[in-house]
Structure 1
Amino acid sequence: MFRSSASAARADVYVRITEEIIAAIEHGPGDWRAPWHHNGTSIARPSNLGSGKRYRGINTVALWVAAMNGGYADGLWGTYRQWAAVGAQVRKGERATTVVFWKQFESDGGDALEDDGSGRKRMFARAFSVFNVAQVDGFAPAPVATLPEADRHAHAEDFITNLGIATTFEGSEAYYRPSTDSVHMPPFDCFRDPASFYGVWLHETGHASGAKHRLDRDLSGRFGSASYAAEECCVEILSGLILADLGIAHHPRPDHAAYIASWLKVLKDDPRAIFTAASKAQQAADWMWIQQPQAQELAA
């Protein structure tokens, strides 16, 4: 009984969050938007009121969706109890957003749920309901300091350079070539603004993060295939995560519309697909941060 109820609860979380993401992308005829496109402000970096920590992976995507739909301007979220603990009150009628906390099954050794047969611990997803600061009364968020735009662009330049992925700036197309492990980009002047340039450069180095000698993702898919769409979705989420960290807007690429239909098909065919894409995107984001000098200094 416990096994079936746990599986049903987990499936419900997958379906609920996936349906919300699909609805956000399909918002309005001819106006397909992806929740990982943002303006680079604090709303793009959702954090928890109680812990002060940033949300990660699929939770970030789910909160991007809610912020997009609700028109929120701040990235602070908390449960009903967390808001009550600081003297704030969630307004009556406000709709909660689902986030997921992953935890290992615990047993006394006789529970078959503990191990999946491969020696790995079994995990289960527990859903929590959170509310944005814009949905409560009696709380004033602290102002968020923002670096000047020129400084943010300089940080983005350094961040991508520190990844150590060879880049050639020439021609009119942006792509990653696995055979030479190199990124190819149009020159800076070909882009409408710096945010677009860094967004595309980060997207292509995102593909490079999946090379066999790095994170070993499947990069063999051709355009139109499910594996190609899954990789593009992963890298788009990755770009959104890193650009949010850098305080830079993540604009849709000019070829964005060509990918939307394939993303939607993957999401509709498998409610777990967006969880997998977000998990791989978070893994790639973590890898990118580990390549930065400050991360290496902290490790030392």
Structure 2
Amino acid sequence: MSKHHSRTHAREDRLSLYDEITNKIIAELEAGHVPWVQPWENAAEKALPVMPKNVTTNRPYSGVNVLILWSTARERGFSSQRWLTYRQALTIGSHIRKGERGTTIVHADRFVPRDERIRTYETGEEAQAVPFLKRFTVFNVDQCDGALPTEIATAAPPQRPDMIEPTVEALIKATGIDFRIGGNRAFYAPSDDYVQVPPPAAYFEPINWHRTALHELGHASGHPSRLNRDLGGCYGTKRYALEELIAELCAAFCCTSLGIVPTVRHADYIGSWLEILREDNRAILRAASQASKAADFLLGFVPKQSLAAPTIAVRAEQEA
């Protein structure tokens, strides 16, 4: 196979994978189901709200892989958010049941081709990296046969409900972000760099206040002094809708890591999200990646013992 044909095939495979992921999420949104809201609601045994992680490396999955695995667990009734590869199952004395279907996740990265390295060495110019996506197939522990180690087979205890509120309050204070409680609407003001959220009594359930607070803090994480995202989109623009999607995912990732069942804050944004995803098959990967970084930034202010699951890894998965 020629180098040109190989590169063309790799590019087509990458685009196909972008389409597969995007089309799956579009289908869920069109059906009225938001993939990052209560993803475990139909599990055979009500799974605790946790971030998916690899059982042998204990590494939490990040970015769009979180959405893929949450969605798969919900659709197929898995009771766990613990995953592993076929080979990893064998290394722990278990095996994947015959006929079980795996779930495709991705590792996104960039590399500099050999020809490009030579060119830049000769010219002194900056090398141009080429993006790539690599597929991995993972299985849920529910798809395994054979004894699992005790620490894997036993689910983690649930977060105590009375620990949630102090943990979020501690996070808010530790970030140093100007956080104001009052008024009748929640928002983040980029120009003055402050968050405002109505008092908890204005919300039907305390969970909704915490989720809203984390959503607005997700926006604040993009300030130039923090993660430096583009926050310049006006209401009704695609840039604005994308930032709302990032904040929604950030809140869902944070809630789950803190043992709070995430709910959707802005169901009316679904139409604008669909428009973005239909026009750009890479948008959901970018949004999920930025959301993981935002959540990791915020969760970094929480004492590790307060987390219901490990903090979200910013880096993409090197090994499923």
Tell me the residue number matched to 2:56. 50
- Could you report, residue by residue, the CA deviation over 1:236-258 in whole angstroms, capped at 9, with x for unpaired residues? 111111111111111122xx221
1:9 to 7, 13, 19: 13
- Tell me, what secondary structure is at the counterpart of 1:44? coil
For residues 131 and 147 of structure 2, the distance between their equivalents in structure 1, rounded to whole angstroms, comes to 35
Q: CA deviation at 1:49?
A: 2.4
Q: CA deviation at 1:161?
A: 2.1
1:225 to 237, 254, 265: 237
Tell me the residue number matched to 1:288. 298
Number of positions where the alignment pairs a residue of Structure 1 with one of Structure 2: 287
Mark the CA change 1:292 to 1:44 in structure 2 (over 3 Å): closer, same or farther: closer
Q: CA deviation at 1:275?
A: 0.6
- Could you report, residue by residue, the CA deviation over 1:142-161 in whole angstroms, capped at 9, with x for unpaired residues? 22122311112211221122
Tell me the residue number matched to 1:88. 94
- Could you report, residue by residue, the CA deviation over 1:21-59 in whole angstroms, capped at 9, with x for unpaired residues? 2222233xxxx1212123796453101123121111111
- Could you report, residue by residue, the CA deviation over 1:166-197 in whole angstroms, capped at 9, with x for unpaired residues? 12211211111122211111111111222111
Tell me the residue number matched to 1:25. 29
Tell me the residue number matched to 2:76. 70
2:71 is the alignment partner of 1:61 = no
For residues 240 and 273 of structure 2, the distance between their equivalents in structure 1, rounded to whole angstroms, comes to 9
2:285 is the alignment partner of 1:279 = no
Greater Cα offset, 68-77 or 32-41: 32-41
Mark the CA change 1:189 to 1:94 in structure 2 (over 3 Å): closer, same or farther: same
Tell me the residue number matched to 1:126. 134
2:172 is the alignment partner of 1:172 = no
Gaps of 5+ in 1: 296-300
TM-score by length of 1: 0.86
- Could you report, residue by residue, the CA deviation over 1:72-106 in whole angstroms, capped at 9, with x for unpaired residues? 22110112222233333333443321111235537
The percentage of counterpart residues that share the same residue type is 36
| Conserved 8 A contact 1:105-1:113 | no
For residues 172 and 118 of structure 2, the distance between their equivalents in structure 1, rounded to whole angstroms, comes to 42
For residues 105 and 29 of structure 2, the distance between their equivalents in structure 1, rounded to whole angstroms, comes to 19
Alignment of 1:131-170 (within 5 A): 131-140=139-148, 141-170=153-182
| Conserved 8 A contact 1:174-1:200 | yes
Mark the CA change 1:182 to 1:63 in structure 2 (over 3 Å): closer, same or farther: same
Mark the CA change 1:89 to 1:228 in structure 2 (over 3 Å): closer, same or farther: same
Q: CA deviation at 1:293?
A: 6.8
For residues 258 and 63 of structure 1, the distance between their equivalents in structure 2, rounded to whole angstroms, comes to 25
Greater Cα offset, 8-17 or 77-86: 77-86
For residues 205 and 281 of structure 1, the distance between their equivalents in structure 2, rounded to whole angstroms, comes to 11
- Tell me, what secondary structure is at the counterpart of 1:217? coil
- Which amino acid in the other structure matches residue 276 of structure 2? V
- Which amino acid in the other structure matches residue 142 of structure 2? A
For residues 110 and 100 of structure 1, the distance between their equivalents in structure 2, rounded to whole angstroms, comes to 26
- Could you report, residue by residue, the CA deviation over 1:173-228 in whole angstroms, capped at 9, with x for unpaired residues? 11111222111111111112221111000101111111222222222223332111
Tell me the residue number matched to 2:314. none
- Which amino acid in the other structure matches residue 124 of structure 1? F
For residues 248 and 147 of structure 2, the distance between their equivalents in structure 1, rounded to whole angstroms, comes to 34
| Conserved 8 A contact 1:156-1:198 | yes
Q: CA deviation at 1:291?
A: 4.2
| Conserved 8 A contact 1:3-1:113 | no
Tell me the C-alpha RMSD between the 2 structures: 2.6
